[in-house]
Amino acid sequence: MEKSQAMQRDSRTTAKVLNEALPFIRRHDGSVVVIKLGGHAMSSDEAMASFARDIVMMRQCNLNPVIVHGGGPMINRMLDKLGIESEFRNGKRISDADTVEVVEMVLSGRVNKTIVQAINQEGGRAVGISGKDADLMICKQAEGDLGLVGDPQVVNPKLIKTLFEQGFIPVIAPLGAGPDGETFNVNGDTAAGAIAAALNADRLLLLTDVEGVKDADGDVITDLTIEQVEALTAKGTIAGGMIPKTQTAIDAVRGGVRAVVIMNGQQENACLLELFTTFGAGSMIRE
């Protein structure tokens, strides 16, 4: 009897949550949401399956999700296995030809297809591509003596829009093509921001391993303007690894994205909490 009553309570709670989500589902109807999925968010099969269910739920609610993924831990393991040394400068991997070959193998191969398979197993229709496909992302060599690291110069979203029209979910490895046929390694956040801007996305969700942008007391700031971000950076409140993420957010918003959210991707159902609840998740940055 107690078990039956508990199940009834759970069912009523589920129905209430769905009812309260309706205005948010209607608000985002038909919108584009770009999600940057970091390698640390793929730490377990359970986490990957939960993320995949969120993505399928978004597509069922008539959103158009695009996943741009990283894969740093997986790349590091493969480089170690092959005895290739790798260094970072200002948060970007210095990439010679050997390193880029491994990066492409890991990102376009194992990581990309793991995400695609997880989404498809949950009932979605995901397709894995890289920024090299159909000249999606044309890059120039990044400054700073980083080797074959690229900065996106032109993003051609036609392929992504075609996939939307056919009901597919694009999963994109952050690699770009150079004007002379080079393969460039592109920072995942940078790639996600450039793709989101080209699509005039409603949201760019940057999934990280922290809750969001914090103030001087260590509390998460839930809503920020570009001016506030720049002021906090000048004061040193925003520092370290958060600086490139907030800069990606600023560039994306100025490029046409309605809002960017920096959030903890390790929180269960983080994407759904952000899109379909009153309180959201993480720090939202907008004009």
What residues are annotated to the active site?
36, 39, 72, 189, 245
Secondary structure of 97-114 in HEC code, one letter for each residue: HHHHHHHHHHHHHHHHHH
Give the N- to C-terminal CA distance of the chain in Å, as an integer.
54
SS3 166: coil
Phi-psi region of 216 (alpha: psi -120 to 50; beta: other; left: phi over 0): alpha
Count, in order, helices (H) and strands (E) of the chain.
10, 14
Distance in angstroms (rounded) separating the CA atoms of residues 187 and 194? 11
Q: Which residues contact 235 (CB under 8 A, 6 or more apart)?
A: 216
The residue type found at 209 is: D
Cβ-in-10-Å burial (0-12, 13-18, 19+) of 241 comes to: exposed
283-286 vs 169-173, strand pairing mode: unpaired
Bridge-based pairing of strands 64-69 and 32-37 is parallel
